[in-house]
Chain A
Amino acid sequence: MSSADRLTVRRSELSVLRWLFKPETKRMFEERYAAYRSPRGYSRIGRVLVGTWLYFSYCFLKPEILGVPSWRLMKVMFPHVDLSRPRLGDLLRMPVQFLWLLLFKQVTTTGPSRRRIRRIRQFYRLADLRSRKLLFRMVALTRLTMRKFRRLVGGSDHRADLYDQPHTDEAKSFKAKGLVGLPLVLVLVVVTFLAFICVTVPFSLTAQASFVIALVVTALIVRQVPGRYPALLLMVLSLIVSFRYIWWRVSSTLNFDDTLGLILGIILMLAEAYAWLVLLLGYFQTMWPLRRAPEKLPEDTAEWPTIDLMIPTYNEDLDVVRATVYACLGLDWPREKLRIHILDDGKRDSFRDFAAGVGVNYIRRPTNEHAKAGNVNHALKLTDAEYVAIFDCDHIPTRAFFQVAMGWFLKDPKLALVQTPHHFYSPDAFERNLGNFRKIPNEGSLFYGITQDGNDLWNASFFCGSCAVMRRDALEEVGGIAVETVTEDAHTSLRLHRKGYNSAYLRAPVSAGLATETLSAHVGQRIRWARGMAQIMRLDNPLSGPGLNWRQRLCYFNAMLHFLAGIPRLIFLVAPLAFLLLHTYIIYAPAALLLLYVIPHMVLASVVNSTTQGKYRYSFWGEVYEIVLAWYVARPTTVALFAPHKGKFNVTAKGGKVENFYYDWVISKPYVFLVLLNVAGIIWGVFRIGYGPQEEIAAVLVNMAWVLYNLILLCAAVAVAGEMRQVRSAPRVDVRMPTSIKLPNGRSYQATLRDFSMGGLRVDMDDATVVGNYSHVEIVLQRANRTFSFPTRIVFSNNQMLGLRLEPMTRQQKIDYVQCTFARADHWVRWQRDYQVDRPGVSFGQVFMAAMRGLKISLEHGPRPLPWIVHGVSFILNSLKSFAPVRVEAKAL
């Protein structure tokens, strides 16, 4: 039905009014009638109902009741009832709502109770501010005294040193920090002794309780103070509790009478020791992220060095590589000093022709050994620029990449590597399947936001395979990219560090890439990393061997240790079941004491992490990420630890599309099994509370709480396996930029660019009908004050929006398009800024919601009766919910 037809129909609905009312009254009725109209139009009963109501209110009610125009009363009082399409349930809904309105006072926006709440809130805010101010003063005073003290013992400002010369050799920096002074050694000895006492003295239940309460309260206060010193203080507090916990676990919680319990207990304790070590090293790593700023390049471009930009590719789509090459062609660097090479390991003629077409170098390798590392090494032999930049074929550099990255090379002659973060403009499997893209920081943001920056302080930031620049002579000195392991990147930088070269990390997101599409691809990639790290540990262990200082050793060691998390994580997931199902005490301690030790250990660790990681990793999500990988990483890492030469390089597939929603049963099988185990544990636990011995109930409850926590995390992990449908093969980037649309008649209209991809764009307009019958429009995009327009075809449109597909363009136009969209220098910086700081409670809520989703998905895709039950239950719940009364926002009600 065309819109004109619809108009006549609607007019005829009210034609009866024509001879009843004057034209203006009729128009008023028409307006009111339209206001009650639901999106799906009127049903027959609805027409009668609304008509009667409007007529009734017009004739019998005063114009305004309770501050509302009386004809709108139905809408205001029964917001959940659609009068234009009444349903049978409304017969119950309306009386319920009516009673509720009669009996309960509605909370209004300006009512006295709201005001009181606001006043209380204000009071708290004020008190909070005051206390912060006081704390701030106290901290400032402490810092001042510290500085005075330091000057007294003859040290210089530690931090300034680190900023000015991050990579002096060990002895010098020690001296500069004043660490060799005798008084400080004495202080160190005393502190170590005190710490030892603090950790090892056994406490009674009450003593431990008061100790813990004191620590937690201190931590919660210190947490309020912004800045890095409070964070350091928090770390110290957390360390004390954790040390105490581990000491207590080792010294007094093993049950030597029960063999099974002893074995399981030792296994759990080893897992906990691992987690504790990772925590410890993690604190060390992220103690003081360097936040290195880019260094300025010389004014004269003649002094700028030459660069070989390499884009290794093996089996990726040409479309993926195209965007990267176009972006590289627009890089802000003297043309004659930048050589772009496509390193094709796939021997594809289409790539060769494309390279010739756009005027970049094409290198094909006769053989294929050592995958990407071999590919780059082969190209190193054929090229000769001073620096080598490596971009994975799906990482699109922004214009400013080299401007940002190259400055430090010219300042520090021993600098061999500058790494920049991998920023992903498409959602990864987690973000897509959980629907939290750009709401919750993804798995990589912790590493690129904090860890690498922390490593940089210790001159241990390492190569991540892409978006990095390396000094050629240094790289050649270590024999090119390392080929012995499947994580050639980290291994290469390890070798550079061993040769005494420096590395730098710049946190600016100056490139953007595609995240791995599916969960299985993601898992595959992580398996490779984990295996590679385990290989490095065996073949070239950073703890031993020449050339590294102890800080670098620790940083590398932690990076590798991190990937061994699989087995310990699995142990934590099943540990409480040992007690619930097998009935052995693996932690041989009273429940209350256990809680007093383990809860502060966990709470303080998460307080520290939430404080230091803030925007980069939300509480509890790290565990979800880890659990998803745990099962799959466990075996390859163990194998690689024992047989490092086994295993091969598998390429991470990117840029595909998921055709339909499907549930990845294969990948979630182990987790579903674990979920079932844990559910069994809960059931058995409930049974034991009912029928088991009285004295065990506390222990059962503690273990059940643990199982519940595990269950939530597991369900959240299961939710990731439900692969959401992704229709477009070229991922779209959401933006909000002013742009304009140019019509063939020479008119331009304002528009807002909402998203773009390599294939097309979407724009919002105030009134998109101005486009009329034109099928082709031009979109005008800006970059650095220059405007470009690109020919597009309209693929869909409505009143406010146009979907545009790019028409075939010339090579220069394509370069300009990529420059105006993906390669805009300011684009990706905003993304990180948009994340909120972590709030653990909210974060747990999000994990919980994800878990509920996971539970529902896996039940829906389970064996036959389960989906029916889920649908039935959710239907009943939803319909029950629809009967509940709804709060009404009206002034006088």
Chain B
Amino acid sequence: MRVVVVRGVRGGGGSSTVAANLASALQKLGRSCLMLDLCQNNDLRFHASVDPREPDGWARRLVADQSWEGAVFGVEDGLRVIPFGELDHNEYDGFQELSQSVLTRFAEQVLAGFSPAVDWLVVDAPPLVSPHGTAFESLLYTFSEAASLRLLAVPPESPSYISLKFNPRVSAAAADYRLVLNRTASEVEANRDMSLVLRQEFPARVVPSQIGTDNALAEALLSLRTVDQYSPDSEATREFHALAIWCQASLVGAA
């Protein structure tokens, strides 16, 4: 099983969009995929046709001391998703107080594999710049260690650039991430220039395929689907297809 961790620099960078659509594109390539949502926003499930009223998720189950395996949702054509789960105040406190060993066991169980077998595990992780407690830190660490590919969804806009460039903590944390330019807009000059700057500043780390601004992505989310199901002939579908191929190709030979 190959693990891809997808994060944003700041919130709203589109990491769950990238994660969900990448997983779906990989699934289309004939690989069996599992999406795991590590964000407390619990966004990933929206891309995967899970009922918005459905509160279930792995965190909720861990807090309730139940088996998390019950929180695996099947989507169309074999794609699966493990949502974070909706937590109220008490549950959230309970989650923060979960013992280290429970979380580690959860991570190890996920990484140990599934049946039917999973080729790719796509993890949607919280952004680099976000307040999260120690519970998240240890989980993130485990999954990052296990990941064969770490992607950072970066919109070519100044906030993310400033953080990446001038915030030492962020740039240190981002050091082993590949940058996926997300929401590029070829008709906006500032956006185009920022893409160029990012490519120049991080030449070896920017992924060659980028994801353009496309309302099809927003519409797909509204209809609770990924873009290749919602609009197969949209440009975003092709871009995620290219990204999925790049992910596969960049890991050729890797275990």
B172 CB to nearest A CB, Å: 27
**Would you call B184 and A787 a contact (CB within 8 A)?**
yes
**Would you call B192 and A748 a contact (CB within 8 A)?**
no
B65 CB to nearest A CB, Å: 46
Q: Which of A746, A778, A785 contacts B214 (CB 8 A)?
A: A746
**Would you call A749 and B187 a contact (CB within 8 A)?**
no
Question: Which residue on A lies nearest to B233, using beta carbons?
Answer: A766
A788 CB to nearest B CB, Å: 5
Given known A740-B235, A787-B192, contact A778–B208 (CB-CB < 8 A):
no
**Would you call A787 and B196 a contact (CB within 8 A)?**
no
* Cα distance, A789 to B184, chains bound together (Å): 11
B237 within 8 A of A: yes
**Would you call B238 and A740 a contact (CB within 8 A)?**
yes
Given known A746-B213, A747-B215, A750-B233, contact A789–B186 (CB-CB < 8 A):
yes
Given known A748-B234, A748-B235, A750-B234, contact A789–B187 (CB-CB < 8 A):
yes
**Would you call B192 and A750 a contact (CB within 8 A)?**
no
Contacts of A741 in B (CB 8 A): 235
Q: Which of B187, B196, B219, B236 contacts A778 (CB 8 A)?
A: B187
B24 within 8 A of A: no
* Cα distance, A301 to B186, chains bound together (Å): 29
Contacts of A780 in B (CB 8 A): 186, 212, 235
Q: Which of A747, A765, A785, A787 contacts B216 (CB 8 A)?
A: A747
A878 within 8 A of B: no
A381 within 8 A of B: no
Contacts of B184 in A (CB 8 A): 787
Contacts of B186 in A (CB 8 A): 742, 778, 780, 787-789
Contacts of B192 in A (CB 8 A): 786-788
B214 CB to nearest A CB, Å: 4
Given known A750-B233, A750-B238, contact A742–B208 (CB-CB < 8 A):
no
Question: Which residue on A lies nearest to B206, using beta carbons?
Answer: A785
Contacts of A740 in B (CB 8 A): 212, 235, 238
* Cα distance, A29 to B218, chains bound together (Å): 43
**Would you call B233 and A767 a contact (CB within 8 A)?**
yes
Interface residues of A in 9-62 (CB under 8 A from B): none
B63 CB to nearest A CB, Å: 40
* Cα distance, A823 to B212, chains bound together (Å): 24
Count chain A CB atoms within 10 A of each CB in B195, B213, B234, B235 and give the residue with the most.
B235
Contacts of A747 in B (CB 8 A): 214-216, 219, 231, 234
A770 within 8 A of B: yes
B248 CB to nearest A CB, Å: 19
* Cα distance, A377 to B234, chains bound together (Å): 55
**Would you call B216 and A748 a contact (CB within 8 A)?**
yes
B37 CB to nearest A CB, Å: 26
B181 CB to nearest A CB, Å: 10
Contacts of B178 in A (CB 8 A): none
Contacts of A750 in B (CB 8 A): 233-235, 237-238
B28 within 8 A of A: no
Contacts of B237 in A (CB 8 A): 750
A801 CB to nearest B CB, Å: 14
Q: Which of B199, B218, B234 contacts A749 (CB 8 A)?
A: B234
Given known A770-B233, A785-B208, A789-B186, contact A746–B195 (CB-CB < 8 A):
no
B210 CB to nearest A CB, Å: 8
Question: Which residue on B lies nearest to A778, using beta carbons?
Answer: B187
A544 within 8 A of B: no
B233 CB to nearest A CB, Å: 5
Contacts of B215 in A (CB 8 A): 745-747
Residue interface bits A709-752, CB-to-B below 8 A is 1, else 0: 00000000000000000000000000000101110011111100
Interface residues of B in 197-225 (CB under 8 A from A): 199, 208, 210, 212-216, 218-219
Query: Which B residues fall within an 8 A CB radius of A?
Result: 184, 186-187, 192, 195-196, 199, 208, 210, 212-216, 218-219, 231, 233-238
Give 7 closest A-B pairs by Cβ, nearest first.
Answer: A746-B215, A748-B235, A740-B235, A789-B186, A787-B186, A789-B187, A748-B214
Query: Which A residues fall within an 8 A CB radius of B?
Result: 738, 740-742, 745-750, 765-767, 770, 778, 780, 785-789
Q: A748-B236, A770-B233, A789-B186 are in contact. List 18 more A-B contacts (CB 8 A).
A: A740-B238, A742-B186, A746-B214, A746-B215, A748-B234, A748-B235, A749-B235, A750-B234, A750-B238, A766-B233, A778-B186, A780-B212, A785-B208, A786-B195, A786-B196, A787-B210, A787-B212, A789-B187
In the complex, 13 of the A-B residue pairs with CB atoms within 8 angstroms, ordered by the A residue number, are A740-B235, A741-B235, A745-B215, A746-B214, A747-B216, A747-B219, A748-B235, A750-B233, A750-B237, A765-B233, A786-B195, A788-B186, A789-B187
